[in-house]
Amino acid sequence: MHVMKFISLAVIVVMISVFAVAQNAPAQAQAPTVKHVPITNAPSNSGKEMFHSYCAVCHGTDGKGNGPAAPAMKTPPTDLTVLAKKNGGKYPADHVAAVIRGQAATPSHGSQDMPVWGPLFSSISQGREAQVQQRVTNLVKYIETLQAK
Protein backbone atom coordinates (compact mmCIF):
# COMPACT_ATOMS: atom_id res chain seq x y z
CA MET A 1 0.00 0.00 0.00
CA HIS A 2 2.85 2.39 0.85
CA VAL A 3 4.53 1.59 -2.47
CA MET A 4 1.35 2.45 -4.40
CA LYS A 5 1.00 5.78 -2.58
CA PHE A 6 4.67 6.57 -3.20
CA ILE A 7 4.41 5.80 -6.95
CA SER A 8 1.20 7.85 -7.25
CA LEU A 9 2.80 10.77 -5.41
CA ALA A 10 5.93 10.53 -7.59
CA VAL A 11 3.83 10.53 -10.79
CA ILE A 12 1.89 13.58 -9.59
CA VAL A 13 5.10 15.46 -8.71
CA VAL A 14 6.61 14.65 -12.12
CA MET A 15 3.46 15.77 -13.92
CA ILE A 16 3.34 19.03 -11.97
CA SER A 17 7.04 19.62 -12.70
CA VAL A 18 6.54 19.02 -16.43
CA PHE A 19 3.53 21.34 -16.46
CA ALA A 20 5.47 24.07 -14.60
CA VAL A 21 8.45 23.81 -16.96
CA ALA A 22 6.12 23.96 -19.99
CA GLN A 23 4.46 27.10 -18.60
CA ASN A 24 7.81 28.84 -18.09
CA ALA A 25 9.30 27.84 -21.46
CA PRO A 26 9.29 30.65 -24.00
CA ALA A 27 6.79 30.22 -26.79
CA GLN A 28 8.42 29.16 -30.04
CA ALA A 29 8.52 32.07 -32.45
CA GLN A 30 6.38 31.56 -35.50
CA ALA A 31 7.96 32.21 -38.87
CA PRO A 32 6.84 35.54 -40.29
CA THR A 33 4.48 35.39 -43.23
CA VAL A 34 3.82 37.72 -46.11
CA LYS A 35 0.29 39.04 -46.29
CA HIS A 36 -0.88 39.12 -49.91
CA VAL A 37 -3.09 42.11 -50.72
CA PRO A 38 -4.60 43.36 -53.97
CA ILE A 39 -2.45 45.72 -56.02
CA THR A 40 -3.27 49.41 -55.72
CA ASN A 41 -3.10 51.88 -58.57
CA ALA A 42 -0.17 54.15 -57.70
CA PRO A 43 0.34 57.04 -60.14
CA SER A 44 2.22 55.84 -63.23
CA ASN A 45 4.07 59.15 -63.53
CA SER A 46 5.81 58.84 -60.14
CA GLY A 47 8.54 56.24 -59.82
CA LYS A 48 8.97 57.14 -56.16
CA GLU A 49 5.29 56.59 -55.33
CA MET A 50 5.23 53.32 -57.24
CA PHE A 51 8.40 52.17 -55.46
CA HIS A 52 6.88 52.93 -52.07
CA SER A 53 3.60 51.22 -53.04
CA TYR A 54 5.01 48.14 -54.77
CA CYS A 55 8.65 47.59 -53.82
CA ALA A 56 9.34 49.03 -50.36
CA VAL A 57 7.48 46.31 -48.48
CA CYS A 58 10.30 43.90 -49.45
CA HIS A 59 13.20 46.12 -50.54
CA GLY A 60 12.66 48.80 -47.86
CA THR A 61 12.05 52.49 -48.43
CA ASP A 62 15.81 52.93 -48.86
CA GLY A 63 16.05 50.01 -51.34
CA LYS A 64 18.52 48.04 -49.22
CA GLY A 65 16.38 44.90 -48.95
CA ASN A 66 15.23 45.57 -45.40
CA GLY A 67 11.48 46.04 -45.86
CA PRO A 68 8.99 44.75 -43.30
CA ALA A 69 8.24 41.62 -45.36
CA ALA A 70 11.93 40.77 -45.90
CA PRO A 71 12.22 38.38 -42.91
CA ALA A 72 9.41 36.23 -44.34
CA MET A 73 11.05 35.82 -47.74
CA LYS A 74 12.65 32.52 -48.75
CA THR A 75 15.20 34.49 -50.79
CA PRO A 76 16.29 37.79 -49.22
CA PRO A 77 15.31 40.83 -51.28
CA THR A 78 18.09 42.32 -53.37
CA ASP A 79 19.84 45.44 -52.12
CA LEU A 80 18.81 47.71 -54.98
CA THR A 81 21.32 50.40 -53.96
CA VAL A 82 24.32 48.40 -55.22
CA LEU A 83 23.09 47.41 -58.68
CA ALA A 84 25.45 49.85 -60.43
CA LYS A 85 28.35 48.91 -58.16
CA LYS A 86 27.87 45.22 -58.98
CA ASN A 87 27.74 46.11 -62.69
CA GLY A 88 31.10 47.88 -62.98
CA GLY A 89 29.68 51.27 -61.97
CA LYS A 90 27.00 51.35 -64.69
CA TYR A 91 23.37 51.17 -63.67
CA PRO A 92 21.81 48.18 -65.52
CA ALA A 93 18.56 49.92 -66.50
CA ASP A 94 17.64 47.38 -69.19
CA HIS A 95 18.12 44.47 -66.79
CA VAL A 96 16.08 46.19 -64.06
CA ALA A 97 13.27 46.80 -66.55
CA ALA A 98 13.43 43.15 -67.67
CA VAL A 99 13.18 41.97 -64.03
CA ILE A 100 10.19 44.23 -63.39
CA ARG A 101 8.47 42.95 -66.52
CA GLY A 102 9.32 39.33 -65.70
CA GLN A 103 11.61 38.90 -68.70
CA ALA A 104 14.75 38.15 -66.66
CA ALA A 105 15.23 35.31 -64.23
CA THR A 106 15.83 36.30 -60.63
CA PRO A 107 15.78 34.21 -57.45
CA SER A 108 12.60 35.74 -56.07
CA HIS A 109 10.69 37.76 -58.68
CA GLY A 110 8.06 35.50 -60.11
CA SER A 111 7.93 33.23 -57.08
CA GLN A 112 5.10 33.10 -54.59
CA ASP A 113 7.12 35.53 -52.46
CA MET A 114 7.49 38.27 -55.02
CA PRO A 115 5.35 39.11 -58.02
CA VAL A 116 6.38 39.92 -61.53
CA TRP A 117 5.11 43.47 -61.87
CA GLY A 118 4.72 43.63 -65.65
CA PRO A 119 1.47 41.62 -65.81
CA LEU A 120 0.16 43.40 -62.72
CA PHE A 121 0.93 46.79 -64.26
CA SER A 122 -0.86 45.64 -67.42
CA SER A 123 -3.86 44.66 -65.34
CA ILE A 124 -4.17 48.01 -63.54
CA SER A 125 -3.50 49.86 -66.79
CA GLN A 126 -6.30 47.93 -68.55
CA GLY A 127 -3.75 46.51 -70.98
CA ARG A 128 -2.59 49.91 -72.26
CA GLU A 129 1.03 49.13 -73.17
CA ALA A 130 2.08 52.80 -73.21
CA GLN A 131 1.03 53.19 -69.57
CA VAL A 132 2.74 49.91 -68.61
CA GLN A 133 5.93 51.15 -70.27
CA GLN A 134 5.61 54.49 -68.47
CA ARG A 135 5.29 52.67 -65.14
CA VAL A 136 8.32 50.48 -65.81
CA THR A 137 10.43 53.39 -67.10
CA ASN A 138 9.60 55.65 -64.14
CA LEU A 139 10.23 52.86 -61.64
CA VAL A 140 13.57 52.02 -63.28
CA LYS A 141 14.58 55.70 -63.20
CA TYR A 142 13.64 55.99 -59.52
CA ILE A 143 15.65 52.89 -58.58
CA GLU A 144 18.62 54.50 -60.35
CA THR A 145 18.40 57.41 -57.89
CA LEU A 146 18.87 54.94 -55.03
CA GLN A 147 22.30 53.83 -56.24
CA ALA A 148 25.15 54.18 -53.73
CA LYS A 149 27.60 56.88 -54.72
Taking the mean position of all CA atoms in its chain, how far away is CA 34? 7
pTM: 0.72
Answer whether residue 25 is part of any domain: no
Answer whether residue 105 is part of any domain: yes
Answer whether residue 31 is part of any domain: no
Amino acid code (one letter) for 130: A
Give per-residue burial for 60-95: e unless 16+ CB within 10 Å, then b.
Answer: beebbbbbebbeebeeebbbbbebbeeeeeebbeee
pLDDT tens digit string along 8-48? 444 444 444 444 444 554 544 555 565 666 677 888 899 99
In this prediction, residue 72 carries a pLDDT of: 85
DSSP structure class, residue 114 = B
Can you tell me whether residue 33 is helix, strand or coil?
coil
pLDDT tens digit string along 68-90? 988 888 888 999 999 999 999 99
pLDDT tops 60 at residue 7: no
Q: What is the mean pLDDT of residues 92-105?
A: 89
- Kindly report the number of other CB atoms within 10 A of residue 44's CB atom: 22
Answer whether residue 6 is part of any domain: no
Contact 74, 113 (CB under 8 A): yes
In this prediction, residue 112 carries a pLDDT of: 53
Range of the domain at 109: 47-145
In this prediction, residue 107 carries a pLDDT of: 61
In this prediction, residue 42 carries a pLDDT of: 86
Answer whether residue 104 is part of any domain: yes
How many domains is the chain built from?
Answer: 1
Answer whether residue 32 is part of any domain: no
